[in-house]
Homo-oligomer: A and B are copies of this chain.
Amino acid sequence: MHAIVVTVSDSCFARQREDISGPAVGRQLQQAGFTVAQILIVPDEKERICETLCHAAKQARLVVTTGGTGIGSRDVTPEATRMVCNRILDGVAERMRAIGQKDTPLAALSRAVCGTRGSALILNLPGSPRGAVHSLEAVLPLLPHALALLTGNTEHDANDADHSTPAMLPEK
């Protein structure tokens, strides 16, 4: 199963800072059995994030972002993710926050979302290496089952996969 990691950070994109979270998340996914195809770095710009997520969701079943989930004026990763997803899975983000709060009450401020685009799962993680790794750990056990359901490999796998794409961003 392929995964792509997207680090969302102006300063990492401008090479003013080293990307720590992206590689940390990548290692964690590899240990969980995923093949990490790429670790991409994009600035905190909604359109760039949208384009990157759409492209990544064609190439990998799992797309994990890190960064841009806070409440600073540049934080737009959740907005971009909502735009490209056709379904939002509130319970997955809830679980990340609930488990994150055992670590720090500030986890409640995360606006991270999780959703699906076609048969890909897109998951936002916070930008700090510790927050990213802990959040991913909280939901890692769900991912294989979620990805199996998304392939349509269920009782419901009817001939209408188009049902799952009403809100998708039009391809360019």
Contacts and interface: CB of A to CB of B under 8 A. Distances in A.
A71 B116 contact: yes
Contacts of A110: 91
Nearest to A76: B163
A51 interface: no
Copies of this protein chain in the complex: 3
A95 B94 CA distance: 10
Contact of A109 (B73, B75, B146): B146
Nearest to A153: B72
Interface in A7-35: 10-11
A103 B155 CA distance: 23
A61 interface: no
Interface in A61-87: 70-76, 87
A7 to B, nearest CB: 14
A123 to B, nearest CB: 12
A172 interface: no
Contact of A73 (B10, B98, B145, B156): B156
A109 B93 contact: no
Given A70-B149, A76-B163, A91-B111, 5 more contacts: A71-B89, A72-B155, A74-B160, A105-B142, A109-B149
